[in-house]
Amino acid sequence: MKELLERKKGLHRRILIVDDEFIEREMLGEMLSGLYEIIYAENGAVALNITKTQRENISLIILDLHMPELDGVSLLKIIRTDSELRRIPVIVLTSEKGSEVECLQMGAADFITKPYDAPEVVRARVARSIELAEDSVIIHETERDILTGLFNKEFFFEYGKRLNKQNNIPMDALVIDINHFHIVNELYGRAYGNIILQRLGNNIHDLVRRTGGLACRSENDSFYIYIPHDDELEKKLPQFIEKISEVFSEHKISIRIGIYSDDGNDLDIERHFDYAKRASQSIRNKYTTSFNFYDSEFHKKELFAERLINEMDKALTDKQFKVFYQPKYNITGDVPKLVSAEALIRWDHPEYGMISPGLFIPLFEHNGLIHKLDMYVWNEAAGQIRKWREMFGLTLPVSVNVSRVDVFDPTLLDQLDSIVSKNSVSSEDLMLEITETAYTDDSDKFNEIIFGLRNKGFKIEMDDFGSGYSSLNVVTSLDIDVLKLDMQFIKNICSDTKNSKLVSIMIDIARLLEVPVVAEGVETREQMLLLKEIGCDIVQGYYFSKPLPVDEFEALIKKEIQGE
Ligand code: C2E
Ligand code: MG
Ligand code: MG
């Protein structure tokens, strides 16, 4: 581009004159020589060779049609269909009056008739052809993304709006994102990443050429496609995704697509793509889903989420959040024994009723609100341990959940410390459940944090063990105090021997680490007995009790004390 502008500023442009007649070449060259640098070719084959090797430096080709070897018509065809040569304008030399239209139809920029017109006319035609071609390159380059040749975002929206005005037909907005593209760059280098993006761009280009429509690269690894609405789109998407993913060949790279189909409302095109983008973002970490429609259901969920986020602060002040307690029983002896509890939060919403944490915790983890809520729960739980000690004369340790977001908060240790001392409880009685998937985020930093917590006396339970991807290597090198098996394994433990074997193996791992195992999600006596048989120490689940509000949990403690 810079080079192009410099050339426009008056530096010499190079013109290739192709004619088998020496005299004709020289005459034409003479007319143009003070203004341009002239090079010559005596037939089409030589000209093609020069054009290919010097394509960046040739501003114009003046071409005679009748020549031996490769004739002018064939050469013109080659140039017009070659994507790298196409931008070079060609002026055709013709002695046949009336063949002008034919030349222009073949893609010539202009024509000059033999014998030549006055030199000023020839020069004017040459200058105009070069200028037009250079302007169109500039326009092309400002509209396009250099890497893929697709539109850039600005022009994409501009042309999209025009398309809407002209056609006024329903359109589908698709956003294509590549999952974890930064890893591709890191593993294989940026140059390879660029090749992937180019290939993906080509496939997308093919698609919009077939269906009609527009496409752009909106940012690094995100593409927008705007195509006429297709009722069958959902059915066609898996095939489309498969086709597009071919560009990733042997690599385990995948894409995800968010879609917003025009439903006749008056929203502008940018909004359509906002929605499609959000639909794509919502499946970011879902490895089993590759596309997602932004429909009314999605919209409702978004509004609900927004409302919960907005109301969280007030709900905390109004005490709408309730901490429930679910008992954990030691099953190693003859009679199961209540040994501790897990604190689980619920939102008693004035309008929606009891909302489960599965709905709001992920939202709050996303925007940092979780920390406030967790602090509330930890405080409540610590206060509860003390109250029960005073009421019943016994210490029942309570586990609280520590979100993965909290783990990396540098003030975590101080805050937990002040919570236990304020409530006069021992740090080992407020046990900390940290989900397994948090362990893989940044293992060095993580281990350091865990070390600090344990040093202060806190006990660490690895929650949902088996749901993440920690390797045996990671697990065996960790400092933890309790291993808590993921519920999924317990679900089919009685019907599926593979599952019971897996649980057995995990219990062996726990033995190796010399830590007790908690199985959660135990719903039947059969499950409980099987777990006891294979050596599980502690059980939590509906079989014994659901999570209970404080007064009901207290009744349970009383029963336990009376039974002793
Ligand atoms: P989790 O820590 O793995 O908690 C266990 C979940 O299993 C709880 O769901 C509990 O009610 C449920 N459960 C217990 N026994 C059974 C059973 O026998 N069958 C079945 N089907 N489910 C059982 P809940 O209370 O809905 O909590 C869901 C998740 O939300 C928790 O999973 C935890 O990750 C998170 N969570 C709950 N409270 C808090 C909190 O205060 N802070 C944070 N950061 N996360 C929390
Ligand atoms: Mg838990
Ligand atoms: Mg769990």
User: How many beta carbons lie within 10 A of that of residue 470, not counting itself?
Assistant: 18
Q: HSE of 126 in the Cβ direction (CA atoms, 13 Å)? A: 29
Note the pLDDT of residue 471: 66
Average pLDDT of adjacent 10-residue blocks, the chain of 564 residues: 45 87 93 91 94 91 88 88 83 81 85 87 93 83 87 93 86 93 86 89 86 90 94 91 79 88 80 95 84 92 93 96 98 95 97 94 91 97 98 96 93 97 97 87 83 96 84 75 93 89 91 93 96 96 97 96 82
Question: Which residue from 379, 520, 524 has its CB within 8 A of the most atoms of ligand 1, so it is best to mutate?
Answer: 520
Atom of ligand 1 nearest to the CA of 523: 18
Contact 466, 502 (CB under 8 A): yes
Atom of ligand 1 nearest to the CA of 522: 18
The residue nearest atom 27 of ligand 1, judged by CA position, is: 357
Note the pLDDT of residue 339: 97
Rounded to whole angstroms, the Cα distance separating 219 from 247 reads: 19
Tell me whether residue 361 is exposed, middle or buried, using C-beta atoms within 10 angstroms of its C-beta: 0 to 12, 13 to 18, 19 or more: middle
Sheet holding 110-113, edge to edge: 37-41, 14-18, 58-64, 90-94, 110-113
Q: HSE of 12 in the Cβ direction (CA atoms, 13 Å)? A: 11
Note the pLDDT of residue 1: 46
Note the pLDDT of residue 441: 64
Mind listing the pLDDT tens digit for each residue in 386-438? 999 999 999 999 999 999 899 999 999 999 999 999 999 999 999 999 998 88
Rounded to whole angstroms, the Cα distance separating 358 from 342 reads: 16
Note the pLDDT of residue 4: 46
CB-based pocket (< 6 A), ligand 1 = 326, 344-345, 356-358, 361, 370, 374, 377, 401, 403, 433, 463-464, 520-523, 540-542, 547
Rounded to whole angstroms, the Cα distance separating 43 from 46 reads: 6
**Using H for helix, E for strand and C for coil, what is the string for 359-380?**
HHHHHHHHHCCHHHHHHHHHHH
Please tell me the number of the ligand nearest to residue 399's CA. 2
User: What distance separates the 2 farthest-apart alpha carbons in the chain?
Assistant: 120
Residues whose CB is under 5 A from ligand 2 (ion)? Answer: 401, 433, 463
The residue nearest atom 2 of ligand 1, judged by CA position, is: 401
What's the CA-to-centroid distance between 401 and ligand 3, angstroms? Answer: 9
The residue nearest atom 24 of ligand 1, judged by CA position, is: 357
Please tell me the number of the ligand nearest to residue 461's CA. 2
Question: Which residue from 323, 344, 356 has its CB within 8 A of the most atoms of ligand 1, so it is best to mutate?
Answer: 344
DSSP, residue by residue, 22-79: HHHHHHHHHHHTTTSEEEEESSHHHHHHHHHHTGGGEEEEEEES--SSS-HHHHHHHH
- Report the interhelical angle of 357-367 vs 296-317 (nearest 10°): 80
Note the pLDDT of residue 168: 82
Question: In terms of pTM, does the model score above 0.85?
Answer: no
What's the CA-to-centroid distance between 251 and ligand 3, angstroms? Answer: 33
